[in-house]
Amino acid sequence: MTTLLAYVPIFPEAVLAIGAMALLMAGVFRGERTTVPLNWFAVGLFAVAAYLVIRQSGGPVSLFNGSFVVDAFTRFMKVLTLIGSAVAIIMSFGYMREVRLEKAEYPVLIVFATLGMLMMISANDLIALYLGLELQSLSLYVIAALRRDSMRSSEAGLKYFVLGALSSGMLLYGCSLIYGFTGSISFPAIAATVAQGNVALGLIFGLVFLMAGLAFKISAVPFHMWTPDVYEGAPTPVTAFFAAGPKIAAMALLIRVLLMAFPSIFPQWQQILVFISIASMTLGSFAAIGQRNIKRLMAYSSIGHMGFALIGLAAGTEQGVTGIILYLVIYLVMTLGTFACILSMRRSDGMVETIDDLAGLARHNLPMAFALMLLLFSLAGIPPLAGFFAKYFVFLAAIQAGLYPLAIIGVLSSAVAAFYYLWIIKLMFFDEPADRFEPMLGELKAVLIAAGIFVVGYLIIHAPLEAAAESAAKALFY
């Protein structure tokens, strides 16, 4: 019994792994008839896993010779990821019914992808990092191509797969260089070796390749090319899922690798992050302006938001990491809320996804238009909504770390980004109405209302959230 108790920290992952296999068996034997119960079972699995994660307490515990670590930071990120995945599944019901895509494998693959994300968040050495990442990516490739009869979905899956395999190759090459030049795969041992001062050029090369691989996963410029096509081609609930959990897990992994394995060569990776951050913010803002498809627009929006979040990591301080964590929380809520609206863009003859279809939404469905307006204002970062505070924290951290140019470019590009968010709002409220949408489904309404309340009421609930984010960030700076 004592030996089993030693493995309590990995119970959430174990629940997801065993649950996913149970789902797979149920799906195989019950066929396509039971997709809705299977989906709810997956949501239940996420709830149980989140409960187990919250139940864990105390400082860093590591398992399996230090490959797997659990601390306040992993707990916070895991809960966030689990919420993202659960909401993404709940939001998918209506769409999957609409396009006749009720497959038993969908919840199975989502649960496996989430398992991979949890493993990424807890990874404390290079092999665990790669296995978690590959587990997640492999599931995502399949989910992106799930709609086999749609050309665009297959194209999205193939594109994602080819570019993802390339990025995995770069990541692995980086890992092997790092291992070769430090003699260890474990983050603390790498940090100790690097701190002794033998920083070979090869090690820096390895670090750059590793960061390139991870930047691909968070779709930061210049590794963003896949994002718009995959977001557009994949089925919409899958796009919502892509925009939520995987980004958070990859960001958590990037934070942990850089702060745990390479703290003593901070200046080396700071310049890379500053470049990636500036490039993502500006490209995310400017390239989104010309978009007509709302899913492509959200892709560029997420590229930009990842750039903003990276500012906090470029600061390299505890406050900066707190800023990223809060940014990710707020980004998750805003993204899921916006996708609840996109999933409601449904006419009697099917789903629509161009921005012009939103024209005059306020005349037909004022509550939806109002909620979407709040979310878009928040995405643009207008006070007193949540999105403003997200940007405020990372910019503050950047200024305190002396990164004035980065903060200034950030503010300027967020002003550019505000243009296209405001343009959609103008379209919804002042333009001639397009055809009316079908009534919103109950579960989407619930997600939208929850997101709207969070965005408006952030000022009221910010204290406990910020305290939790601070204690999570503290776990990385002991």
Q: Does 69 bind other proteins (CB under 8 A)?
A: no
Smaller CB distance to other proteins: residue 193 or 282? 193
Among 9, 132, 237, 246, binds other proteins (CB under 8 A): 132
- Judged by CB under 8 A, does residue 142 bind other proteins? yes
Instruction: Please calculate the CA angle 239-243-249 and round it to the nearest 5 degrees.
Output: 130
Q: What angle do CA 273, 274, 280 make, to 5 degrees?
A: 85
- Report, in Å, the least distance between residue 96 CB and other proteins: 14
Q: How far apart are CA 370 and CA 380, in angstroms?
A: 15
Q: How far is the CB of 449 from other proteins (least distance, A)?
A: 34
Closer CB to other proteins, residue 181 or residue 395? Answer: 181
Residue 64 interacts with other proteins (CB under 8 A): yes or no: yes
Cα–Cα distances in angstroms (integers) from residue 79 to residues 53, 75, 421, 433, in the given order: 7, 6, 29, 40
How many other CB atoms are found less than 10 A from the CB of residue 430? 10
Least distance (Å) between residue 227 CB and other proteins:
21
DSSP assignment of 223-240 equals S-THHHHHHHHS-HHHHH
Under a CB-based contact definition with an 8 Å cutoff, are residues 211 and 272 in contact? yes
Q: Which of 135, 258, 315, 451 binds other proteins (CB under 8 A)?
A: 135
For residues 53 and 333, which CB has a smaller minimum distance to other proteins in the complex?
A: 53
- 209 near other proteins (CB under 8 A): no
Q: Binding to other proteins by residue 139, rule CB under 8 A?
A: yes
**111 near other proteins, rule: CB under 8 A:** no
Q: Which of 71, 134, 232, 353 binds other proteins (CB under 8 A)?
A: 134
Binding residues among 23-42 for other proteins as defined by CB under 8 A: 24
Q: Would you put residue 31 in left (φ > 0), alpha (ψ -120 to 50) or beta?
A: left
Does 183 help bind other proteins (rule: CB under 8 A)? yes
Taking the alpha carbons at both ends of the chain, their separation in whole angstroms is 32
Task: Tell me the C-alpha distance between 250 and 245, whole Å.
Answer: 9
Cβ proximity to other proteins, 102 vs 318, nearer residue = 102
Give the 3-state secondary structure of residue 346: strand
Query: Can you give the three-state secondary structure of 58-79, one letter per residue?
Result: CCCEEECCCCEEECHHHHHHHH
Q: How many residues bind other proteins (CB under 8 A)?
A: 37
Can you tell me the distance from the alpha carbon of 226 to that of 248, in angstroms, rounded to the nearest whole number? 18
Q: Which stretch binds other proteins (CB under 8 A): 133-141, 232-240, 305-313, 348-356?
A: 133-141
Contact characters 396-435, other proteins, x per CB under 8 A: ----------------------------------------
Q: Is 265 in the site for other proteins (CB under 8 A)?
A: no
Asked if 108 touches other proteins (CB under 8 A), the answer is yes
- 103 near other proteins (CB under 8 A): yes
Pick from 37, 169, 198, 415: which binds other proteins (CB under 8 A)? 198
Residue 317 gets which letter from DSSP?
Answer: S
Cα dihedral 304, 306, 312, 318 in deg (nearest 10): 160
Assess 112 for contact with other proteins (CB under 8 A): yes
Q: State how far Cα 248 lies from the chain centre.
A: 4
d(CA 436, CA 423): 20
> Between 68 and 300, whose beta carbon lies closer to other proteins?
68
Contact residue for other proteins among 163, 189, 352, 422 (CB under 8 A):
189
Pairing of strands 350-351, 68-70: unpaired
Peptide bond into 188 cis (omega under 30): no
Q: Please enumerate in sequence order all residues whose Cβ is within 8 A of that of 464, keeping only pairs 6 or more positions apart, or say none.
A: none
Binding residues for other proteins (CB under 8 A) = 17, 21, 24, 63-65, 67-68, 103, 105, 108-109, 112, 115, 119, 127-128, 131-132, 134-135, 138-139, 141-142, 145-146, 148, 157, 181-184, 189, 193, 196, 198
